[in-house]
Amino acid sequence: MEHFLTVGRIPFLVCAPFFHRFLDNFPPKIRFLDGTPSEQNKNLREGKIMLSPSSSIEYAKNKKNYVICNRFCTSSTLEIRSVKLFSRYKWENLSDKIIFTTEQSDTSVSLLKLLSSLYFKVKPVWADNAAGCDAKLLIGDNALRESVAGKWEYSYDLASVWQEWQNLPFVFALWIIRKEALGGGLLPLLENYLNETEISIKDFKENRRECLQKWEKFYPHNLPQSLACDYYNAIDYSFTSQHEKSLKIFYELCGMQAELRFI
């Protein structure tokens, strides 16, 4: 029986280092399925994909089905720039105000609600419709474009706020792997793919502009080239003991118990 490994790919700039290498050079027996972070969470739960850089909170919600690749993640040691709350009011004045929460990222929404409740101590009204909202959470390329537009009086980078509070980087996405990928003939494909992804990240760091130009041909983002290129200065793709500590604190504050199992 021939085995194939299906990988969830997120077509946001933040994921370009993970996937640019494979846009015109598919690894053998690897298939890709595109989707937003929340869509990839669902695809993981349903077994439509075997691994993906998915919302970190997805692991805690369904940990019995998953392991984590601790070679890389998506986090920030400064500001992430692509996970932001845009507001007409200061955050501490958002009680009873309407905040739109994007459907694209489960982790970012959980972090937003956590920071509102425990750090700023406000009780907003959460909405899934952006019409008439007083503030809105945007992620990915949408957040970058909204920052460029400059229409909001206040904007808050959620990674920066977390670091002010906890003095730790925030882990937005983990490489989550279904346990089935560890057997059934898939493990050699998985190990090879993770090795290739490490090379992809390294190549992007060394040849950022060239790699980004290739990415843009497949996934246009309509942002200034200089802004897109500079964006990666704020992102940390490593996974260290500090990231692990931050992840555990986040889960605990969310009321979740999750033993971290790594491959």
Digit-by-digit pLDDT tens for the chain (263 residues) are 468 999 999 999 999 999 999 998 888 899 999 999 899 999 999 999 999 999 999 999 999 999 999 999 999 877 888 899 999 999 999 999 999 998 888 899 999 999 999 999 999 999 988 889 999 999 888 888 998 888 999 999 999 999 999 999 999 999 999 999 998 889 999 999 999 999 999 999 999 999 999 999 999 988 888 888 998 998 999 999 999 999 999 999 999 987 899 99
The CA distance from 104 to 113, in Å, is 15
Q: Which of 111, 107, 106, 76 is nearest to 91 (CA)?
A: 111
Record the pTM: 0.91
Both structure tokens of 256 = 């979740």
The CA distance from 41 to 56, in Å, is 9
Domains of the chain: 5-75+170-253 (3.40.190.10), 83-166 (3.40.190.10)
Task: Classify residue 236 by its DSSP letter.
Answer: B
